[in-house]
Chain A
Amino acid sequence: MAIGLKKRRRVQLIVIAIFFIFFATFLIGFAFKDGIEFFRSPTQVISESISENEVFRIGGLVKENSLKKDGNKISFIVTDRSNDVAVKFIGILPDLFSEGTGMIATGNMKGMVFEATEILAKHDENYMPKEVADALKEQGIYQE
């Protein structure tokens, strides 16, 4: 009897565990729709057609002399030295944001302008975001 009970418990346990895993898989699949943000370089943004609803990350260098501030409305150009994309942002820029350095922004395209909702800060000024470094390498700009 005791062994039968143990076996039954084990089967029940496995059934519940499988249920949870299915539930998790379902949630993950569902969450991937909203939660995944693709990374694109300016060149990719120019060459692909991107839905205005798609939230993604753009990364590259902040083009020199392109940063304009009007109150908390900020605009600048992000470049991978082959192509440029204009970025608009409302808010406060991170401390380490400056012209000529790497940056990553999250947002979506409105026409030809990228409207950023968030601009990522880095803790270390020498640090180049990996995606940005790779994107620049593809364009032959950045060398290690």
Chain B
Amino acid sequence: MIAELGHLAVIIAFMVAIVQSVVPMIGASKGYIGWMDAARPSAIIQFLLIFFAFIMLTISFVTSDFSVKLVASNSHSLKPLLYKISGVWGNHEGSMLLWILILAFYGALVAVFGKRLPIILKARVLSVQAMIGVAFIAFLLFTSNPFERLIFPPFDGKDLNPLLQDPGLAFHPPFLYFGYVGLSMTFSFAIAALIQGSVDAAWARWVRPWALLAWITLTIGIALGSWWAYYELGWGGWWFWDPVENASFMPWLIAVALLHSAIVVEKRETLKSWTVLLAILGFSFSLIGTFIVRSGVITSVHAFANDPERGVFILLILIIAIGGALTLYAFRANSLRSSAVFSPISRESGLILNNLLLVVSTIVVFIGTIWPLVAELILGRKLSVGAPFFEIAFTPFMVVLAIFLPLGAILPWKRAQILRAGSPLIGALSLSVAIGLLIWSLQTGGRILAPIGLALSAWVILGSLTDLLMRCRMIDIGFSAGLRRLINLTRADWGKTFAHIGLGLTIFGISAITAWETEDIRVAKIGEEFEVSGYTFIFEDVSKINGKNYTSDMGTINAFKNNKLVAILKPEKRFYPVQRMPTTEAGINSSLKRDLYIALGDFQDNGWTIRTYVKPYAVWIWIGCLIMAFGGLLSMTDRRLRFASTIRLKQK
């Protein structure tokens, strides 16, 4: 009964979405207030219906109702509660329901909080949002119904893939989807603007919070995924340039570009059509990502069993959405006139450079990601594009981006002189170069990457701090007056500082781990002692552990530095009997200075295979991501972006 109620709710939501996509759009073009007003309640009702359906599915999972096919094939009565819940989206059908839920949630947010949006714009935005909803609900209902029943329910379920039974991965999909789907909001705003034929500062101020929200959640989602891969897969890697990872990284890059170009629209009323194009591209890459992940056309290490027919359906959605949006853009972009002019050396130019670099690097990632598909279709060769491709073709753009970032961020709007505006950065520049040279001279025969990467990270961080100091004019007006100004800086200013410093820290972590990590693989007997990069490890023992739904061989390895015990590592080799599947749980001891990382391999007649890594400053990769996301949050809550102040500004 519960599953049927959920199914029914989705069907009604489908009807509501159809009405919501047609009625307000007609109302907006004919000027029927009543028709436009229909958008608000229908968006809210659509969300409530899908939410109800989602709860029904969750109840089926929590109560282990194995007559529902999805529960039977993805859950088990012995599974911990957290994973019963996360199992709802740990499979194709459920994750698509989550996708739609978040889509409807965004629509409802606009309906509830967008009271001050101009009514025509709001009607069109919600209508476009509902069109996307119609497409995806149809996809769910016709190809991936999560509420399907089994005629003969099994006694117990098949369990969730054990790799997914992990707190990091329990929350990874919701965050990722909030990001992916969040870009649908900026897409809807862009389409509405194109239909309306105008974009102004107020429009940019409405779009930016959505772009920020999408970007923040995408950042956290990607960071969680990468962290999970780091400790769960036991290879010690944190990014593999795998198609599925790239699928989330491309919309992230475009979202970064969009965030920055929206600032230009808001402050200077220029780059309008470009910003609209970015908003379209951002969601296009979300759709492409969904297609890559769900269709399985490109071989990925993360691939779960998938179904080509579903891929065709998503491909259709993708072609209609992207094709339609770009066609509309081609016809209407000319009407988005920009008024302002600016000199080649100015904040505007800096942001344009940022945009160009990000978009071109996204294209590089895109080519690398789809090349296997192109090669197979056109050349008839099977191949894969590995990490070296991206290191050679993508990294240079990020290096250039980091070089220009502090300079672009400190330039004034409209017109600037590079020497005068850039002179405060001389301190930061010389210090960073000095750091780079120092590390280069200390390093014996390592990769050139370390000095360059560390110099760049220092440059980005110190440059951001210099920018902050300049803004509060601490040097001119004294410490206490400067401090007061510092506190009174807008949240957007603080957000910018945090986001840029976060990027610097991530660059730092990446450079350090790439250049200085040490790896050791050996077969060790119990009691054996071995040394890796200054740490002494003693392999104490391996014991059998019984978990709730698995058994485990848990190793105990003590790590010493200078004869002092610094960490006790407990790597595990788990076995999940229901799916008959082994998993590796790495034993990790993290600190700000280094991660000690041990993965336990097979038992052999003379000992256990043990893989040990010492990874300097690894944790900064993720700390940097969190700080970036925090910067985004500060920016999003800036007073300027609240709807009320926008209206006041317009009325002036």
A-side residues, CB < 8 A to B, are: 2, 5-6, 9, 12-13, 16-17, 20-21, 23-24, 27-28, 30-32, 34-39, 57, 69, 71-72, 90-93, 95-96, 106, 120-127, 129-131, 134
Q: Are B393 and A71 in touch, CB under 8 angstroms?
A: no
Within 8 A of A (CB), among B560-592: 579-584
Within the assembled complex, what's the spacing in Å between the Cα atoms of A124 and B580? 11
Contacts of A17 in B (CB 8 A): 356, 360
Contacts of A38 in B (CB 8 A): 381-383
Within the assembled complex, what's the spacing in Å between the Cα atoms of A21 and B522? 46
Give the Cβ gap from A119 to chain B, nearest Cβ, in Å: 10
Q: Which of A6, A16, A69, A95 has the most CB of B within 10 A?
A: A95
Q: Are B382 and A134 in touch, CB under 8 angstroms?
A: yes
B364 contacts the other chain (CB 8 A):
yes
Contacts of B341 in A (CB 8 A): 2, 5-6, 9
| Sample of 9 more A-B contacts, CB < 8 Å, known A34-B389, A38-B383 | A20-B356, A20-B357, A24-B361, A34-B388, A36-B383, A36-B386, A57-B384, A71-B523, A106-B386
Q: Are A27 and B393 in touch, CB under 8 angstroms?
A: yes
B179 contacts the other chain (CB 8 A):
no
Contacts of B361 in A (CB 8 A): 24
**Nearest CB in chain A to that of B341: its residue:** A5
Q: Are B364 and A127 in touch, CB under 8 angstroms?
A: no
Q: Are B392 and A35 in touch, CB under 8 angstroms?
A: yes
Q: Are A125 and B580 in touch, CB under 8 angstroms?
A: yes
Give the Cβ gap from A100 to chain B, nearest Cβ, in Å: 14
Q: Which of B383, B385, B521, B581 has the most CB of A within 10 A?
A: B383
Contacts of A91 in B (CB 8 A): 521, 611
Consensus secondary structure, chain B interface: mixed
B-side residues, CB < 8 A to A, are: 161, 163, 233-235, 296, 299, 301-305, 338, 341-342, 344, 352-353, 356-357, 360-361, 363-364, 367-368, 371, 381-393, 396-397, 521-523, 579-584, 599, 601-602, 604, 606, 609, 611
Q: Are A24 and B393 in touch, CB under 8 angstroms?
A: yes
Within the assembled complex, what's the spacing in Å between the Cα atoms of A124 and B301? 10
Contact A24:B581 (CB < 8 A) given known A38-B381, A91-B611, A127-B304: no
Within the assembled complex, what's the spacing in Å between the Cα atoms of A121 and B601? 14
- Smallest CB-CB A-B distances: 6 pairs: A35-B389, A31-B392, A39-B382, A31-B393, A92-B601, A71-B523
Choose one: B163, B296, B342, B609; the contact of A123 (CB below 8 Å).
B163
Contacts of B579 in A (CB 8 A): 125
Within the assembled complex, what's the spacing in Å between the Cα atoms of A26 and B373? 21
Q: Are A72 and B389 in touch, CB under 8 angstroms?
A: no
Choose one: B296, B363, B584; the contact of A95 (CB below 8 Å).
B584
Contact A123:B383 (CB < 8 A) given known A16-B356, A24-B363: no
Within the assembled complex, what's the spacing in Å between the Cα atoms of A16 and B234? 43
Contacts of A121 in B (CB 8 A): 233, 235, 301
